[in-house]
Amino acid sequence: MQNSDISRAINVDAAAEAVTEICQRLGVAVSAMEPLLCGGTRVVCCSSVGAHALRKQLGDKVLQRKVSRIPLAPRHSY
């Protein structure tokens, strides 16, 4: 699998502050971060290379199960 095939989005069993600190330490740029309903954080890296590095660093803290996200904006019917 090439790095371009790796999803940039990662669900993590960790607080946003901890994920931010790890990303800064690794030099991983983040385009979005949000809390998850189950606890933890969804982080979207700017590159698949950064996402791969972050997954490798986080190991077992990466959530493999399906998670529910908090809606960030109301849904509109047009």
Q: What's the average pLDDT block by block, 10 residues per block, for the chain (78 residues)?
A: 72 96 97 91 96 96 87 66
Q: What is the pLDDT of residue 77?
A: 63
Contact 69, 38 (CB under 8 A): no
Question: What is the per-residue pLDDT for 65?
Answer: 87
pLDDT at 53: 96
| pLDDT value of residue 2 | 54
